[in-house]
Amino acid sequence: MPAKHSVKTYIEDSYYHVYNRGVEKRNIFRDDYDYRVFMNLLKIYLSPLPDAINEMEKIFPTKKIRIKKTFHDEIDIISLCLMPNHFHLLLHQNSSKSITEFMRAVCTSYSMYFNKKYSRVGSLFQSIFKAVYVSKDEYLLHLSRYIHRNPLKLTGFNPVKLGEYPYSSFSTYLNPAQRPWINTQFIYDYFTSGSPALAYKEFVEMIEDEKPELLNLVIEDD
């Protein structure tokens, strides 16, 4: 039987929670540079093609990585969090095939980088990425919170330190100019009075736990 969320039917103009982890739960990010490469790949594949080609040459200066297309105006990253052995992305796509092509491009490029750096061969990720269709507005908002609270699984992190975690988009919600390629407006639209950034910060940091029945998630990321 196929793994849960591994067989996907995509819908245009829709939201998806996309996640994956390392094969045998191994770390896919071993140092700060690894995290930054993955983040840069996300940015690159969301950039106009000429910009993407130039940026890719900085990551792979001795090897030509041909980029035939990017997903500028096709994909929006709403929230993200990278953890040592897995990642979470909350994505919006405009066409029914964008997410599949986007994730294949990002993960293939990162696997090539990682395998070369650490002199390894074979699959880096456990399997094809998982994707969950986000069907409700309330689900979208709470899923973004769930993603941004992932660093609490790490020793030494508490809610007031979430904005200091460098490998998630939470700090971008506090300062949108930090990473303009992350689209914060989808979530900001839920907060119509006062400062959306401040209201979202309070929402993420509140002590109340997520409700499994609301998120309806079964995520094997530990």
Query: pLDDT tens digits, residue range 166-177?
Result: 999 999 999 988
Please name every residue paired with 20 in a beta bridge, in sequence order, or none if there are none: 87
- pLDDT, position 64: 66
User: Is pLDDT at 216 greater than 60 in this prediction?
Assistant: no
User: Is pLDDT at 123 greater than 70 in this prediction?
Assistant: yes
User: Is pLDDT at 41 greater than 80 in this prediction?
Assistant: yes
pTM of the model: 0.89
Q: Which two tokens stand for residue 187?
A: 């979530």
Higher pLDDT, 194 or 121: 121
**pLDDT tier, 29 (very low <50, low <70, confident <90, very high otherwise):** very high
**pLDDT tier, 200 (very low <50, low <70, confident <90, very high otherwise):** very high
CB atoms within 10 A of CB 26: 13
Q: Give me the mean pLDDT over the 94-114 stretch.
A: 93
- pLDDT, position 219: 46
pLDDT tens track for 179-192: 999 999 999 999 98
Q: Give me the mean pLDDT over the 79-107 stretch.
A: 95
Mean pLDDT over each residue of the chain, to the nearest integer: 88
Alpha helices (H) along the chain: 32-44, 49-59, 98-117, 137-148, 170-174, 185-188, 196-205, 212-215
Share of the chain above pLDDT 90, in %: 66
Residue 106 to residue 42: CA distance in whole angstroms: 6
Q: Which two tokens stand for residue 47?
A: 């950039």
For the chain, report the end-to-end CA distance as a whole number of angstroms. Answer: 22
Q: Give me the mean pLDDT over the 87-107 stretch.
A: 94
Q: Give me the mean pLDDT over the 72-86 stretch.
A: 96
- pLDDT, position 203: 93
User: Is pLDDT at 220 greater than 80 in this prediction?
Assistant: no
